[in-house]
Amino acid sequence: MELIILFGVLIALMFFMSSRTRKQQKEQQAFRATLAPGQEVMTGSGMVGTVVAVDEAADTVTIESTPGVQTRWLRAAIAKRMDTPVAAEETDVTEQSAETGSITPADGSVDVPDDISGLDTAQREYREQKRREDGETEGK
């Protein structure tokens, strides 16, 4: 009886794993079918470039990695689309630190001790400051 249950569980696991793999393959095929000039992509080997041309008949993609350097790749070699990062808005560090509780100075410099002995003292001073801010007395 246990053997039948074990086989049933193994068959179910194999089914779920294969269905997930099929789903990922379909998503990759849909992605590769929608490649268009101007998109920034990365190949399976890690080369990043911009799609210049797509040849449907030969199933190839021409990628420009640096200005003037173009290479042809099989469409199946394109692994993913590289999304260009959105430029973050410049915010004042002192305002941000008040909201997030960060203790980084406004100029961005961080004082790093030469040895670990200064960390214990800084932590103790921080805790004492928090106690005073919360209204606790020194005798507690």
Kindly tell me the burial class for residue 31, based on how many C-beta atoms sit within 10 Å of its own C-beta (0-12, 13-18, 19 or more).
Answer: middle
Q: In whole angstroms, what is the distance from residue 126 CA to residue 105 CA? A: 15
Number of compact structural domains in the chain = 3
Q: Is residue 59 part of a domain?
A: yes
Which amino acid is it at 68? G
22-69 confidence digits (pLDDT tens)? 888 888 888 888 888 988 999 988 899 999 999 988 889 999 988 889
Q: Is residue 139 part of a domain?
A: no
8 Å CB contact between 108 and 73: no
DSSP symbols for 65-105: EETTEEEEEEGGGEEEE-PPPPPPPP--HHHHHHHH-----
Helix (H/G/I), strand (E/B), else coil: 45: coil
Q: Which residue has the higher pLDDT, 97 or 23?
A: 23
Q: What is the pTM of this model?
A: 0.46
* Owning domain of residue 63: 35-84
Q: What is the CATH number of the domain that holds 56?
A: 2.30.30.140
